[in-house]
Amino acid sequence: MTARVSGLSAIALGFFLALPIAAQEDAGPGFVLQGEGGLVTAFALDPSSPSTLYAATGRGLYKTTDAGATWLRTGAGLRDHSVLALAVDPTEPSRLYATTDTAGVFRSVDGGEHWTEANRGIAARYVGAIAIDSHRPGGLYAGAEAGRIFHSEDSGETWRELASPTSTVSITVIVEDPQKHDRLFVGTNSQGVFWSADAGATWARPSGRLSRGTVWNITFDSASGEMFAGTHDGLFRSTDRGLTWVPTNNGLRSWNVMTLVANPASADTLYAGTAAAIYRSSDRGRTWTELKNDLYVTALAIDPRSPSTLYAATHLGVLKSETSGTQWKPLRMAPSLSDPSAPGVAAKRGAAKPDAASSTTLPPLPRGSKPAKPPASPLPSLPMKPSPPSVEGGRP
């Protein structure tokens, strides 16, 4: 399972966001950007064991099996690559998938300790999105540069390419309709949402006022058929399984909506993470209340067994709330490493020394990206996805 319900948007590794001192101190005593994990670029919660979490940062891939109390630095075979998305197979939780910006798809069959490439049939190196196909055992979808979409029926051993909705921009998120077989939705970098009723053989655009800008996430409520799309132009809502859309931003101070999750125990409660803050809605997204600001939130996850427990992946590492988002604490991810390259070393509760991986420079904005809607965020409103190589003129 990805961090959210269906698919984490692809996010660039190596960001260093310069924050006001107050923002750093608010995260907790001794918790600063460097040395505590830094920007979390991909995040996943194991749905069968919600105390198991995975977080990819500039320092590497981290895993916790005790709800964030301690962390292991893991990921042998993956450490030289920027991780853009993570997914846990809900039927076989020891099997994980990761997408990267230069080496395609990786797979682990031992709970994230070791990784190998899984790119047979994938004609792209920049792969930004991964999603489990719940209708087919071993089914997967991967979204890549130049609008390429791939499907696997054997847990990533082999892939075949589907039709593409576009040939000039990358795929940022893939979501399936949990009730309607072969119905897919994809978000793109600067061309909005496309949908397919035939498992990716053909594609169309939805109707309504949905943004045609960059789409960071798509959330599907399987019970009601409602959908939400978080974009660089705000949050949008559909009540007819994605056919038509309307904006729903009342109370959102930042419209750059990076992630959204639904409370499984309360049908009306939603949480949204933006480029500036965390918000909660108690009326299915019609109005929003700010819970915590001065955060660049890349992903949210909720514990399905204890819905008052939330996790936020941010530019400050991972934060945790056990009070439905009213109070947050940092989860220290600083490892004690005798060999910095060795996987599976137990984390230490103390501080770690900063390293180069946690202080790299910002990449350029993606082509066609736009600033977030006013009022301005107190943090830099940069899209969290780098431009894939050579997409301007379409496919090579």
**Closest of 43, 44, 56, 53 to residue 14, by C-alpha:** 56
What is the per-residue pLDDT across 216-236, written as a single tens digit (0 to 9) for each? 999 998 767 799 999 999 999
Asked whether the predicted pLDDT for residue 377 surpasses 90, the reply is no
Please give the biggest Cα pair distance in the chain.
56
Cα–Cα nearest to 150, from 119, 108, 191: 119
Closest CA to 150 of 97, 111, 108, 192: 97
Neighbours of 221 (CB within 10 A): 17
The domain ranges of the chain are: 21-349
The pLDDT value recorded for residue 335 is 55
Q: What is the DSSP letter of 70?
A: S
Phi, then psi, of 218 in degrees rounded to 5: -135, 125
pLDDT at 59: 85
More confident residue, 16 or 164: 164
Question: Which pLDDT score, from 0 to 100, does residue 222 have?
Answer: 73
CATH code: domain 21-349 is 2.130.10.10
Number of H helices, E strands in the chain: 1, 29
Which two structure tokens, joined as six digits, stand for 396? Answer: 């090579």
Q: What is the pTM of this model?
A: 0.80
Asked if residues 86 and 3 have their Cβ atoms less than 8 Å apart, the reply is: yes
